Structures are given as C-alpha cells and as structure tokens.
Amino acid sequence: MNPAPVSTTAHARRLEGAPFATEIRDQVAADVTAYVAAHGYPPGLAVVVCGRSAPSMVYLERILKACAQVGIAGSLVDVPGDNPAEQARELAAAIERLNADPRVAGIIVQMPLPTGVGLRVVVDAIDPLKDIDGIHPLNAGLLRLGYEGFIPATAHAALEMIHRSGITLRGADAVVIGRSPVVGMPLAFMLTKEDATVTVCHSKTRDLAAKVRNADVVVVAAGQPGLVTGDMLKPGAVVIDVGINVVEGHIVGDVDFASAEAVASAITPVPGGVGPLTNALLLSHLMRAAQRQDQAKEYFEA
C-alpha cells in the first residue's frame, strides 16, 4: 500500500494560491511589457459570456481585474439571445469575430453554458491558437497524448498547486470527483501522467465515500457544496477543492472545509485556494498564445 504523500498533522496545512499567483503574474507583467514594446499595443483577452450565473460571473470579473493589473487588454463580450437556438448562433458568430481580430490573442467562454446551448458550439467555432482554456479537440487531444498544448486553466491550477506545495504524486492513489471536459477529465489525464493511480467519480458513482476514503489525494470539481466531508477522508489526505458555489451570498467550495481540515494533511480553502492560481495561469496561457501567434505569422509570411 502506498503511503499518503504528506504526513498527518493535527491541523491541515492550508494551500493558499495567492503567493504562487503573485509569482506568475509578475512574470506575465514582464512579458506584457516586452510585447507592447514590440507591437505597440497590449495582447487582448476576450471573455465571452452567454447567460449569466453568479459563480461564473464572480470568476470572470476576477479574470478581468487580473488582466488590468498586468497590462493585458481584457474585454467582456456579452452574447445576446432569448432562446438556446438564438444564443448558440450569436455565440458562434461572436467567437468567429474574435478569431479574426489580430489584437485578441486569447478567448475564453463562460462555463457552464445556458441550458440548451452545447459545448460543441464553442468547440466548432474557436481557433485552437486562441483557445487558451484548452477545449478545442486539437488541444484536448494533445493533452490526452501527452504533448504540449493549451490545457484548461482550472485543471492546470489544481496540478500546479500540488506541485508548488511539494506534494508527491508518483504512486499516490488519487480520486477526482467530477468528469467535466473542462476540469475533471483533463485533470485525471494530467494526474495519470504524473504517475498517480486515478479514479474518476461522478454523480452515478456508487458509494462515493468508500472511493474517497482510500485516496491519498482528493480533487473535488463537482459543483455541489459540502459534497465531501471530513468523515469521508483518509487521515492525512491532500484535498484540492475546485468548486465555486454561492450559498447565501458567500462563495464556498465542494468540500465541507471545517470537518475536512481536521482530517486532511493539506487542503485548499475556497475562496483563496485554486481560484487565484487559475486566474494567474490563464494570463500566462494568454501570453503563450500571443507568442505562438507571432511565430505562426512569421512562418506564413516567410
């Protein structure tokens, strides 16, 4: 049996995202300065909103604020429409316009999409070179095959939090709760690549508590407040809470923090854990996209 990757302590270590996010943003700010010097304008990030929900708007507003802090030209693109068919058409049209705008280096689309508007609309429309949140089949396929591409920022942040906190994944038993194409499944592939043994759980999983109780690392991305409690955890487990939920006006995760903190060896708070790191990594993805687009332009103009 593999040992837990972090030893049990009386109180869990809180894995705060802010210090790591600051390091990443400082590098991005330097990259933006160099980009502006070369091009005469800042790289642009378009945040596309199709329908509004409280948790996602909180996330998007923080991204736009982070853009302003480092000099990126962030913009909010609001997609109109009174029914799913109209929203889908307008969403595809908005993405196509952004694909053609040379000042927009990256595009992200609010998730979840409104009921009746499928992710396929975004997948079919978005330019993979501007797909900085890794949902295009090209980027998703590169991730699955183990090659470099754009990966979903939230999944990237969860893994980066584990890395930067000095937590060992090789040989660890990991449980990912949530199988979405933008968080759960990409993260499962990434953890597998790190030599963890991964179990993916979801709404149809039988006896979720039994699966979680055997895990050295638990990542929760289900969008269900309080889904994981301390009595479900293996003593000394590492808990990464990716959930963003608004309950009675407060942002909470998918983990019951108070009970889990008493059992885990390390845990991310919500807010303040994965969120800040996600936003910072998204900015770094944008700069990588801008640089790749420059390289592609030079290639085709040569």
The CATH number linked to 119 is 3.40.50.10860
Same-domain status, 60 and 169: no
120-126, long-range: CB within 8 Å, 24+ apart, which pairs?
Answer: 121/88, 121/91, 121/92, 122/91, 122/95, 124/92, 125/91, 125/92, 125/95, 125/96, 125/99, 126/95, 126/99
The answer to whether residue 12 sits within a structural domain is: no
Instruction: Give the model's pLDDT for residue 298.
Output: 63
Backbone angles phi, psi at 73, to 5 degrees: -85, 90
Write out the H or E segment, with its range, that includes residue 161: helix 153-164
Q: Measured on CA atoms in the order 110, 78, 136, 67, is the torsion positive or negative?
A: negative
Q: Which amino acid is at 270?
A: V
Same-domain status, 269 and 188: yes
- Which residue among 93, 128, 163 closes a domain? 128
Check whether 111 has a pLDDT greater than 50: yes
Q: Are 263 and 239 in contact (CB under 8 A)?
A: no
The answer to whether residue 249 sits within a structural domain is: yes
Of the pLDDT bands very low, low, confident and very high (cuts 50, 70, 90), residue 1 is: very low
pTM of the complete model: 0.90
Check whether 40 has a pLDDT greater than 80: yes
User: Which residue has 């845990």 as its token pair?
Assistant: 267
The answer to whether residue 160 sits within a structural domain is: yes
Instruction: Give the model's pLDDT for residue 265.
Output: 98
Same-domain status, 159 and 269: yes
The answer to whether residue 169 sits within a structural domain is: yes
Same-domain status, 165 and 251: yes
Number of domains in the chain: 2
Residue range(s) defining the domain that contains residue 53: 41-128
- Which residue among 95, 128, 161 closes a domain? 128
The answer to whether residue 220 sits within a structural domain is: yes
Same-domain status, 120 and 45: yes
The answer to whether residue 11 sits within a structural domain is: no
- Which residue among 128, 160, 191 closes a domain? 128
Same-domain status, 161 and 104: no
Q: What percent of the chain has pLDDT over 70?
A: 94
Instruction: Give the model's pLDDT for residue 2.
Output: 42
Of the pLDDT bands very low, low, confident and very high (cuts 50, 70, 90), residue 80 is: confident
Mean pLDDT throughout 88-107? Answer: 97
Q: Are 156 and 189 in contact (CB under 8 A)?
A: no
Instruction: Give the model's pLDDT for residue 6.
Output: 42
Mean pLDDT throughout 71-98? Answer: 94
Residue pLDDT, tens place only, 176-206: 999 998 899 999 999 999 999 999 999 999 9
Q: Pull the structure tokens for residue 122.
A: 């975004």
Same-domain status, 178 and 269: yes
Same-domain status, 113 and 162: no
The answer to whether residue 90 sits within a structural domain is: yes
Same-domain status, 165 and 253: yes
Same-domain status, 255 and 163: yes
Check whether 300 has a pLDDT greater than 70: no
Same-domain status, 157 and 270: yes
If one compares 229 and 110, the residue with the highest pLDDT of the two is: 229
The answer to whether residue 79 sits within a structural domain is: yes
> What is the domain-level CATH number for residue 239?
3.40.50.720
If we measure between CA atoms, which residue out of 258, 212, 205 comes closest to residue 238?
212
